Amino acid sequence: MRWDIFCKVIDNYGDIGVCWRLARQIAAHGQEARLWVDDALALAWMAPDLAEGVDVRPWQGQAPNGLPRGDVLIEAFGCDITPDWVQAVATADTAWINLEYLSAEPYVERMHGLPSPVLSGPLAGWRKRFFYPGFTSATGGLLREPDLPRRQHRFDREAWLTAQGIQRKDGERLVSLFCYEPVALASLLDQLEQPQEDGEPDGPPRLTHLLVTAGRATAAVQALMRGRSTSPSSRLCVHYLPRLSQDDYDHLLWACDLNFVRGEDSLVRALWAARPSPAGDLQSIPFIWQIYPQHDDAHHDKLQAFLNWMRAPSSLRAFHDTWNGLDAAPLAGLDISAWGKVAQQARARALEPEDLFSQLRAMAATMAPRA
């Protein structure tokens, strides 16, 4: 099968991040993936080796002539492909699918799979269908590679950290930070500098190694650190990361004891993040989500829907509400071990629906005669 994915980069990295992840999964299944993107700059660090089988092409200017037509056309996040481009890569028999943003809100189950016929213009008579990723079996599921557990079992945490130049001291906890500019960031730094809970009974409070991702998170932390005087009793050590490949960003999540993520793609990766316990089973790593803010505050309901699906206890809800600026309450204390159990149960539930790629393939097969 030949797949065409169209991606418009709005801002940040979620659009290209999801499209790239999908394209490489298609290629890993031995199918042909053409990824049409209006701005491929981020792929230079996100995908430095460009996976074999993914054909990244510029989506700019006039549609090219003479292309072999594809079996599946993915219009990512309502990126609005003009008719000349649709006709350049597809025929009326191509499975044309609108891949939507991830949400845990109830409308997703109602909308997933709905058809949308084109009624006018050069493509009148063509039809597309809506595909809604989600967390339940009535939705399109989440991107999840089949070999993910195997790779997590084999992951060598210490070797990976050493390769990144990160020296973890005994008993130190690792926290990754990928965020926009949360108002509560200063409170988080305070909390990590002088944690209330102790590492060992009668021992000093835990040391935290904060691994700050490149870009907006680094800029936000640096701006705050400039104005702070670091106390000699500070239990916080900050390490600024370079831009990581998408695979290494996953490794970062697997290596840490708590992950702060933002947007949608890193949320899903945080949900999957796990390390083998001494007993050999995969143990989830707790995470905190900063949702992508929308001007009309639509993200408030979206955040609550996710926390409901997570079955988040009140401490985790309170932390999320403050972290996302929904209220001005003081930032709740970190409860890493309780939140780890919540993450473990959520991960188990998220594994129940079929993965997103398998569901996309099944939807395409019901639409395209050749697929």
Binding stretches for ligand TRH (CB under 6 A): 10-15, 17, 46, 101, 178, 213-214, 243-246, 249, 262-266, 292
Query: Quick one: angle between helices 314-323 and 336-350, nearest 10?
Result: 90
Closest CA to 14 of 263, 272, 289: 263
CB 63 to ligand TRH: min, Å: 24
Smallest gap from Cβ 281 to ligand TRH, in A, equals 26
Contact predicate 45/243, CB 8 Å: yes
Judge contact between 269 and 46, C-beta under 8 A.
no
Distance CA(165)–CA(234), nearest Å, equals 22
Q: Which residue number, 43 or 97, has a Cβ lying nearer to ligand TRH?
A: 43
Q: How far is the CB of 215 from ligand TRH (least distance, A)?
A: 7
For the bound state, the minimum distance from the C-beta of residue 259 to ligand TRH, rounded and expressed in Å, comes to 11
Tell me how far, at minimum, the Cβ of 22 lies from ligand TRH, in Å: 11
Comparing CB distances to ligand TRH, the nearer of 13 and 126 is 13
Nearer to ligand TRH, 46 or 367 (CB): 46
Which residues is 238 bridged to in the sheet?
210
Give the shortest CB-324-to-ligand TRH separation in angstroms: 13
76-100 burial, b at 16+ Cβ within 10 Å, e below that, comes to bbebebeeebbbbbbeeebbbbbbb
Q: Is the Cβ of residue 96 or residue 289 nearer to ligand TRH in the bound state? A: 289
Q: Where do the H-state alpha helices sit in 178-310?
A: 185-193, 216-226, 246-255, 265-272, 298-310
CA angle 319-323-326, nearest 5°?
95
Q: Could you give the residue numbers annotated as active site?
A: 15, 264
Q: Which is nearer to ligand TRH, 94 or 324 (CB)?
A: 324
Residue 110 CB: number of other CB atoms within 10 A?
A: 11
Element holding 236 (H helix, E strand)? strand 236-240
Chain position whose Cβ is nearest to ligand TRH: 14
Which helix (H) or strand (E) segment holds residue 348: the answer is: helix 336-350
Q: Is 269 exposed, middle or buried (0-12, 13-18, 19+ CB in 10 A)?
A: buried
Q: Kindly tell me which of 88 and 261 has the beta carbon lying closer to ligand TRH.
A: 261
